[in-house]
C-alpha cells in the first residue's frame, strides 16, 4: 500500500499579514516603553533624588525606539510577494 499526500498551498490574505505586523509592532512598542519607564524610574531613584524628568525621558526613548522598529517592520518586504521583471 502506498500513501499519497497531496500538497495544498494556502493563500494568506494581505489583511492577515498586516494584522500580524501590527501585533508585533504594538507588543514591541509596549515592551520598549515599559523598559524605558523602568530605566527612568531607576535613574530617578538612584541618581536624581526622585525627580520626574528621567522617567519621562525613559518613556520617550522607549516610545521612540518602538516607533523606529515599527517603521522598519512595516517597510520590510518580508511576507510580501515580489515579482522581478
Q: Rounded distance, CA 35 to CA 62, Å?
A: 7
| pLDDT bracket for residue 58 (50, 70, 90) | very high
28 close to 77: Cβ distance less than 8 angstroms: no
pLDDT reported for residue 10: 66
Secondary structure in 3-state letters for 7-75? CCCCCCCHHHHHHHHHHHHHHHHHHHHHHHHHHHHHHHHHCCCCCCHHHHHHHHHHHHHHHHHHHHHHH
How do the domains of the chain map onto residue ranges? Answer: 29-75
Percent above pLDDT 70 for the chain: 76
Task: Specify the pTM.
Answer: 0.70
The tens digit of pLDDT for each residue in 13-24 reads: 778 878 888 898
Amino acid at each position: 500500500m502506498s500513501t499519497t499526500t497531496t500538497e495544498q498551498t494556502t493563500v494568506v490574505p494581505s489583511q492577515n499579514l498586516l494584522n500580524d505586523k501590527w501585533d508585533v509592532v504594538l507588543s514591541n512598542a509596549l515592551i520598549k516603553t515599559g523598559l524605558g519607564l523602568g530605566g527612568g524610574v531607576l535613574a530617578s531613584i538612584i541618581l536624581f533624588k526622585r525627580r520626574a524628568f528621567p522617567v519621562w525621558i525613559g518613556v520617550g526613548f522607549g516610545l521612540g525606539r518602538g516607533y523606529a522598529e515599527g517603521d522598519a517592520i512595516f517597510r520590510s518586504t518580508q511576507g510580501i510577494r515580489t515579482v522581478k521583471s
